[in-house]
A and B are shown apart, each in its own frame.
Chain A
Amino acid sequence: MALGLLGRETAARIAVGVAGLGLPVALFGAWQWVHASQPVTLHARMSEVGGWAPEVLRVEAGRPLELRLISDDVVHGFAIGQSQVSPIDLLPGQVVTTTLTFDAPGSYSYYCTRWCGPNHWRMRGVIEVTGPEVNTAAPSPPLYEVLGIDLDAPHPAAVVPQTRPSAARGAQLGLILPEDLTSRDAYASRSPAETWRALRAMPVTETLTDDQVWDLVAWIWRTQASEAALQQGAELFAQNCAACHGEGGSGDGVMASSVVAGTMGPVEATGPADFTDASRALGASPALLHGKISRGGMGTGMPYWGPILTEEEIWILTDYLWTFQFEE
């Protein structure tokens, strides 16, 4: 009788022991085991609380890197810089798995693609891909360096148009303009104000008003990019730039005040650039804009997009920025 009782009590103790102690230990063990093995768990967090964790991932060239991605707070996105692989949206708390393979060794930046606070652009990490060195040509210096442009020096335009320049009006003027003003290189290395001065000095524009010469400038600028490229530029701007620079380019984006508040170092806290401000915008050459976008603002809060956007994408963005000044 007593033994029977003891047997029942023991069975009961085992049952509740399993439920109350065995289960949590097993769960903890499972959790540990999962985290110690592949796939690597990559946590996405707002920059203010640490950003990506772990920040540095390592893999060998040619070997697949399995990732388990999970956001710990708000909507993030995962993408590899300068890569054509589609970004992966990370909804908070939902696990997404992906596999990446890198053919060539090097350091690859990965970054967040959905705005997650004022420091969204700082949310970046690195994937170190190891392997036998591949001989690649050294990258050519950026155009602003070649031209010797000081990215941080102010660039006011001496003359600004009275009305908004229109590329269509410029085209209608029916002038044939020389190659050394309309070529891609010429466009890139001169600011609109410089091009205007050059055009103003030409005899063929003597009869035109100042504003009509601006229309010619607009026409030159407009012909540099196709409709499709401008559309892509608009998308890139909306996704990456509008939060600070504003959807209308006036520097009044939703993050603008945070940029001002977060400006570091000796630079003046002026906030995001206003692309609708003619005296500033028209004094900047495409090369300068390209450089600013690639290199960033050195403490002003302007991100450096060099590792993230391809050269082509940065030029497309630059070509789009003029639509805040010039009409079609």
Chain B
Amino acid sequence: MSRASLQSLARGKLLPAVLGLAGLVVVFSPSSAAPASPVDRTLRLEARSFEYSPSVLTVNRGDRVTLEVVALDVVHGVHIDGLGVEVTADPGQTARLSFVADRAGAFTIRCNVTCGPLHPFMLGRLSVAPSDTPWRVVLLAGLAVLFGARLPPPRSPVRGASAGHLAP
């Protein structure tokens, strides 16, 4: 194939379609990673204004997780986005939050009890392995670059010399 025809191929409708298909493959192809067998996990989560310790929790998919939430200074809470579970913890009374991590991915842990000025930024992360979503997203980003870079640029008169001029 000549260079010119390759280029015209790239700029035609074929490449975007190919990239679109590749994107669908990246998004919907099933995960190949073998998940670890689920276990019962008890994790201690300390809550202090305005952070969680540890700030990232890692469990495996299917694990039956119990979080022991220990509030260190004032009343805090734990709410896990996406799993929709939450609990409130008073200092001196460890609160227990039990759930099954049935979906892989990253879930934000938030404080759901106002605990001071930085309360909306009291965030942590629950990472449920195995999750290849980061890799898929990276691949999609690569496809996005290819898609954007190879699209024909907008047809426009050469700009820069005159003031804004309208097409009739």
Interface set of A (CB-CB < 8 Å, partner B): 46, 73-75, 91-93, 114-118, 238-239, 241-244, 247, 253-255
User: Which residue of A74, A239, A241 contacts B74 across the interface (Cβ within 8 Å)?
Assistant: A74
With an 8 Å Cβ cutoff, the count of chain B residues facing the other chain is 15
User: Least Cβ distance of B51 to chain A in Å?
Assistant: 15
B114 engages A93 (CB within 8 Å) = yes
Closest to A241 in B: B92
A114 to B73, CA, bound (A): 11
Closest to A92 in B: B114
User: Which residue of B73, B93, B116 contacts A242 across the interface (Cβ within 8 Å)?
Assistant: B93
In the complex, chain A residues whose CB is within 8 Å of the CB of B70: 254
User: Which residue of A92, A117, A238 contacts B92 across the interface (Cβ within 8 Å)?
Assistant: A238
Known contacts A75-B75, A114-B75, A115-B74; decide if A239 and B113 are in contact (CB<8 Å): no
A74 to B70, CA, bound (A): 16
In the complex, chain B residues whose CB is within 8 Å of the CB of A74: 74-75, 114-116
User: Least Cβ distance of B82 to chain A in Å?
Assistant: 25
Main secondary structure of the interface of B (DSSP, over half): loop
Interface set of B (CB-CB < 8 Å, partner A): 70-75, 90-94, 113-116
User: Which residue of B91, B113, B116 contacts A243 across the interface (Cβ within 8 Å)?
Assistant: B91
User: Least Cβ distance of B113 to chain A in Å?
Assistant: 6
A117 to B48, CA, bound (A): 11
User: Which residue of A46, A73, A91, A114 contacts B90 across the interface (Cβ within 8 Å)?
Assistant: A114
A238 engages B74 (CB within 8 Å) = no
A150 to B68, CA, bound (A): 40
A227 to B91, CA, bound (A): 26
User: Least Cβ distance of A244 to chain B in Å?
Assistant: 8
B73 engages A75 (CB within 8 Å) = no
Known contacts A115-B92, A241-B92; decide if A254 and B116 are in contact (CB<8 Å): no
User: Least Cβ distance of A266 to chain B in Å?
Assistant: 28
For this complex, 8 residue pairs linking A to B, each with C-beta atoms less than 8 Å apart, are: A74-B75, A75-B74, A91-B113, A114-B75, A115-B92, A239-B90, A253-B91, A255-B92
The 5 closest A-B pairs by CB, nearest first: A243-B92, A242-B92, A75-B75, A115-B91, A92-B114
User: Least Cβ distance of B72 to chain A in Å?
Assistant: 5
A247 engages B73 (CB within 8 Å) = no
A75 engages B115 (CB within 8 Å) = yes
In the complex, chain B residues whose CB is within 8 Å of the CB of A46: 74
A255 to B91, CA, bound (A): 8
User: Least Cβ distance of B49 to chain A in Å?
Assistant: 8
Closest to B77 in A: A75
A238 engages B93 (CB within 8 Å) = yes
User: Least Cβ distance of A177 to chain B in Å?
Assistant: 36
User: Least Cβ distance of A56 to chain B in Å?
Assistant: 25
User: Least Cβ distance of A78 to chain B in Å?
Assistant: 14
Closest to A93 in B: B114
In the complex, chain A residues whose CB is within 8 Å of the CB of B94: 247
In the complex, chain A residues whose CB is within 8 Å of the CB of B72: 254
